[in-house]
A = this chain, B = another copy of it.
Amino acid sequence: MNQRPPRTLATPTADLVARFAEIVGPAYALTDPADQQPYLTEWRDLYIGRTPVVLRPGSTDEVARIMALASEAQVAIVPQGGNTGLVGAQIPSESATEIVLSLGRMKCIRAIDPAGASMTVEAGLTLSEVQAAAAEQGRLFPLSMASEGSCTIGGNLATNAGGVAVLAYGTARNLTLGLEVVTAAGEIWDGLKSLKKDNTGYDLKDLFIGSEGTLGIITAATLKLFPAPREKATALAAVPRLDDLLPLFRLAADEAGSALTAFEFLSERALAFVAKHTPGARLPFANAAPWYVLLEISGMEEGKAESFLERILTAATERGLVSDAVIARSLVQAQDLWRLREAMSEAQKGEGGSIKHDISVPTPQIAEFIVRAAEVVEGICAGARPVPFGHFGDGNVHYNVSQPIGMDRTRYLALWEPMSRAVHGVVAELGGSISAEHGIGRLKRAELPLVKSAAEMDMMRRIKAALDPKGILNPGKLL
The chain A residues found within 8 Å of chain B, CB to CB, are 113, 115-118, 159-160, 162, 166, 168, 171, 173-174, 183, 187-191, 193-204, 206-207, 209-211, 215, 226-227, 229, 246, 250, 253-259, 300-301, 308, 360-365, 391, 393-396, 431-440, 444, 448, 451-453, 455-456, 458-460, 462-467, 478-479
Contact = CB atoms under 8 A, between A and B. Distances in A.
A278 to B, nearest CB: 26
Copy count, this protein chain: 2
Contact of A300 (B116, B118, B255, B436): B255
Nearest to A216: B459
B300 A437 contact: no
12 contacts: A113-B364, A115-B364, A116-B362, A160-B199, A162-B199, A196-B395, A198-B433, A201-B456, A202-B459, A202-B463, A204-B460, A206-B206
A226 B256 CA distance: 11
A253 B227 CA distance: 7
Given A189-B456, A256-B300, A203 B200 contact: no
B194 A202 contact: no
B195 A360 contact: yes
B300 A257 contact: yes
Given A118-B362, A200-B451, A440-B200, A194 B459 contact: no
Given A116-B363, A194-B362, A360-B196, A174 B174 contact: yes
Given A193-B433, A201-B452, 16 more contacts: A113-B364, A115-B363, A115-B364, A162-B197, A171-B197, A174-B174, A189-B456, A195-B433, A196-B394, A197-B396, A197-B433, A198-B433, A201-B448, A202-B460, A204-B456, A258-B259
Contacts of A365: 116
A135 to B, nearest CB: 15
Contacts of A459: 183, 189, 202, 204, 467
Contact of A200 (B204, B396, B433): B433
Nearest to A196: B394
